[in-house]
Structure 1
Amino acid sequence: MTTRAGGKYQGTSVSLWDLLYSKYITEEKRRELVQQYKSGSITIERFLEMILTIIQQQTTTTSSSSLVMCQPPETKVDSSTTTITTTVTEITEVQNFHGIRKDVTANELLESKIINEDLYKNLTAGKVTVIEVSEMDSVRKYLKGTNSIAGVYLQSTKETLSIYEAKSKGLLTPGTSLILLEAQAATGFVIDPVKNKKLSVEEAVAQRVVGSEWKNKLLSAERAVTGYKDPYTGNTISLFQALTKDLIVKDHGIRLLEAQIATGGIIDPVHSHRVPVQVAYTRGYFDEEMNKILSDPDDDTKGFFDPNTQENLTYLQLVERCVTDPITGLSLLVIAKKGEFYFFVDEATKLILKSTMTTRAGGKYQGTSVSLWDLLYSKYITEEKRRELVQQYKSGSITIERFLEMILTIIQQQTTTTSSSSLVMCQPPETKVDSSTTTITTTVTEITEVQNFHGIRKDVTANELLESKIINEDLYKNLTAGKVTVTEVSEMDSVRKYLKGTNSIAGVYLQSTQETLSIYEAKSKGLLTPGTSLVLLEAQAATGFVIDPVNNKKLSVEEAVAQRVVGSEWKNKLLSAERAVTGYKDPYTGNTISLFQALKKDLIVKDHGIRLLEAQIATGGIIDPVYSHRVPVQVAYTRGYFDEEMNKILSDPDDDTKGFFDPNTQENLTYLQLVERCVTDPITGLSLLVIAKKGEFYFFVDEATKLILKSTMTTRAGGKYQGTSVSLWDLLYSKYITEEKRRELVQQYKSGSITIERFLEMILTIIQQQTTTTSSSSLVMCQPPETKVDSAQLPSPLQLQR
């Protein structure tokens, strides 16, 4: 503890932890200091002194940054009065932004056309902060860039490896590995994807992320960021300028330049940030000839390689085939072993998707012309859905027009809230009688036979969904009239929840190795106790299927035992739990009854039954074993699958009814609480329980914080929440907030750096930026500088950016 901190901590006793996670310390600085301390480079006393110095520098600058400029008094004299006017001008000094390797001034961002005049004035007036501006998509792209290829994702084991380690294990050739590492160095930093570190080449060699034999080659590539020295003038020049002066080999230079453009833009080494294309033209960092080369690449200029398909690709094409790490957000190149299925979008299909344009998309694309490719890879489409649609299109099951309609429907469902549908109502015959005639008007309705829906273990009729209040009368009529399809209705959030449920805990994510394991395998390796493992597997069986998270399979208990996903010693216990899905047999009547009914008839132990029932409710709703789908709570009451007493037990759980266990914190939790601590697999979308080794940092939201977040409500959110009342918790865990941003904001709130009100405002701002198109954050069209010599314009390299 210390009482020497300044700023908001002035005169209080505060821990080094709270200072470290305060607003005064950037994420980058935080990591750097923690790594220095853990490596033994600095003592805890030195650590504290460095933090105090940073805070002092920031708070001293803040207090002295408002400078008042006083003009000499102006005196006006007339015959009766003397007026003295004093003009006072207040000038605010703006804190610098963090560039790639050094700080960047707000003035430089203005001159580089990254921010406009209005935003600059707001900054200098203190109406917006440096942090808020840095988080704008249109600014962050140039300060931080987008993801380069950080490492390798081994599909068979779900393991993450660095590029160099993949080379050492024979998964990548030395040539492919070196080219990928050079691209990392030339776009900012060499990356350790396992520890989520961004390093200079010197640091990467020292920490053995790369071998010393490649040090000189990577230092050369790194100059694309830090700048090359002009041998004639001694000035710092850019990658493109070094290329035109023949200081680097042409093919090598083109490869690095293309990587920079693919990850956010050409880097200005003098000012240490990326620049818009038109600024790159102006500063001599790009020209028409290079634009043509990169706009129409052939195999000779495709400098990167997909080891799975043996294709030469551009860097952007290779990045587009990567998956995203669920915790770090890094892009990882998938390596599929021989015989494994490798999903990617081939270039011919990609060309069709990119050339299929629409102006009918909602959400953040409202009112703009956008390609089907951009919609497919937007935040509205899950990885699983993306794969499914691409495979349907490539197999010929759907046309490109149908593909587009399905995407637009998904986006519309997510971004708009509709209270009702406009449907044709079928009226009975109307008879009008007057003194001379009788008129009978009959409305004829064509009835279409509706295909069944896929339930948990068997098909479900549309009529059953109507009776279960999962769909309403209007939607049912649209189905029978053929105006909407079974597939479209199945994909609605309000329907899918009951047909498929939400995620149960599918497996384990080993934080130290980034490896995915099944529950049973984690037990076998001593990572979970037998008791914890059995309880988790019973929850899987009772909510639908036993899951193999490595091969992404959902299996019956019989199948899981046969495929050795679970051991045969647990077969009977899991078959018993599975009856929560398929139904129990009433020994008196022979009827199929539900889990709750079996519990009431003492056919299963109370604690066991409550645990399974809570898992069902946490993953979408109570399962009706007769019809093989979940049902809304009011329907469960009506059918005798739930009652008020059980509702009270599950609504206010104590340690005796918290039937699940967090192995990291040793806490008893409800199933929902444990699910909320999971991470999502980037490829399968499955929920995985994180296992942190002793000494590793384990991130989770504690129950007290969660309660505050769930009780903080707003009606001001945009996107899919437009016009509804929603909690800060739901917004925080929505598709609009990345895993990395979620962690950062929670840590800031828990450290006291931001209030709950500020937390909410920051979340609303992020959602607004993502779901609305504003003139200040619109994409800059990549036009070359205007020339007065003739009317010709250089081609635009828009196709270089997705």
Structure 2
Amino acid sequence: MCSSDKSQSNLQQEKAILKREKAEALEKIISLGSEVRVLKDRLQRAQTEAEHKQKENSVLQLKSQQMEEQLEKCKKMLEELKSKLELQKDGYERQLMLVQTEIEKKIILLQSEVTNTNIQYLIRFRLLDEEVLQKLEMGLITVEQVQASLAQYIGKPTAIAGVYVESSKKKISFLEAAEKGFLAKTYAVEFLEAQAATGTLTDLTTGQTHSVTEALERGIIDKSLKDKLLEAEKAISGYIHKGKQLSVFQAMEERVLDRYKGKRILEVQVATGGLTNPEIGVRVPVGLAVEQGLLNKDTLHSLYDPVSNPKGFHNPDTGQKAYYSEILKTCLYDIDSGVFLFPFGERHITSTSPVSSHRVSVVNSSCGTEMSAYEAFKGKHIDRKTYLFLSQQESNWQEKSTVDQSGTQLHVITDVKSGRQLCLESALSQRFLESSELENYRGGLLSIYEIVDIIFSRMVVVEDVNSPIAGFWDTTQKKRLSILQGFQQGFTDRATALRLLEAQACTGGICIPSSGEKVSLSEALRRGLLDETLNQQLQQFEQAFNGIIHPKTAKTLSVPQAVQENLFPKEAGFRCIEFQLLTGGLINPDTHDRVSLEEVIQSGLVDKVTAAILKDEKFQTKSLTCPKTKRRITFREALERSVYDCHTGLRLLEAAKIHGYGAKSTFHYVWAYK
């Protein structure tokens, strides 16, 4: 083939290729054109949608702007309305205060029956000061302050109004209680006479008090009691003699009133807030009553003397004779009717117990709620005055300063009644008390009862399962006693006291049941928890806790090791081992950790014979006398009979006296129980 033919052939091939490429390019152009049209359509639709949404947003913005403008207008209207209401409120409050002030002034005059003559009486009997009246007129003091100063004289006496049935949680009158067989009618009449003698014959349905005549008209009392109660009511209205209006004491002195009956009335009036001065019809505190001749000191001192003034009331629950003040201390305050009620039932809810930090002191008979005085006060169910009165019935807290071993001054608060004890410095360090609260207490803004209740409300006490018998619980006086006090006051014999103190000394220290502290023998002697003889007898038991030093190796030995090495008396050693095992395990003198008997046996510290003796309860001697039943018991039985003290977490053993039994009369005890 010639070159021209080849060129022509190549040219044709190139044309074919170009033609094919042109066709392909044309297809791509057509395809791209189609895609461009689609994209243009989409873009146009998107633009249309965007314009539509923009229009919608513009409309929404316009509406929002309009709503904001309306809201601003509403706010302005509300502010204007609020200002108008505030002005009206201020005006009404000023008018109300003026009216209230006038009403309160009249109330004071009505409550205390203060006429022009009576004001002179109040001043004369030192119940009201002329200076106070002048300050009130000048606006230097408020009506509330004057009311507060007169409250103790014009307030309702704290007489017992009826019975609280524990099972049903309902209140009933004394007469109804007698009808239902809860108490003898003669007992019920005693309490009604006390009500009449304090001017507080009470209708339990309303809580209101009435005179004898009013009570008869309303059917609150029987007509058969009329004469007896009218006679008792003379303690309020006065005994008319030779044209004079005599008080109870004056009637006794003039022989118008029987002396025994008069003393019983005086005891009731003293217990419920003060003696009544019939001339002005208000109660007078005991101190002022003596000054005013409503009572003399000899009679006052004899009110609680069983010989010159026998107990004139019967405890409705037990039937035992009692003073009115003793029964009042066991009563509840009913917030439903604002009266005091005697609790009747088997729960004994007002009894003080070591297992409960507070007794029930307040109830709401309308719904059956029961609470402590502090709970009621914090819940605003009772006022501060009632809270303090109820607290004083339950406890008697007193503060004293003392110095510890390092010479640091401590402030200790002690409940004289129950034996509980708190250290203010410890309460601060443990965050049970804030510095501001202590300052308020020091400044008189908080009472000693409030500061104690604040601390108790924050304390968390855990039962100490390793506790020995830390002390006694006097079931009669409801009080904690140390072991030595229990012996000195005749609850137990010296041998039992020694054994219990041995158990304390070899398990961590001498226990202070009032505070829960455990101290060394020297400190216990300093604090009066031991006498010199006991201190000497307990030395080796303190060694048992701290460890016995081997004289040759200077190694610290446990009790079993020391007994095996003949470095510790065998009999005393066995007692220490028994005390330690029964309170949680043998004590490692180096760490003071507890070790079980099985671990001790495995370690070889106790031989098999000794281990068998320790395991067998038959070998546990009845070396103690139960302070309650006076029967012989083992240390294990003492622990089983004990209760955990909610105040300290330590174990207490209940104790009671038997007539003729005590430190000076062991012979009588042995004779009675041998």
Q: TM-score, normalised by structure 2?
A: 0.40
Q: Which has the higher contact order (CA 8 A, sep 6+)?
A: 1
Higher share of residues assigned helix: 2
Larger of the two Rg values belongs to structure: 2
Q: TM-score, normalised by structure 1?
A: 0.34
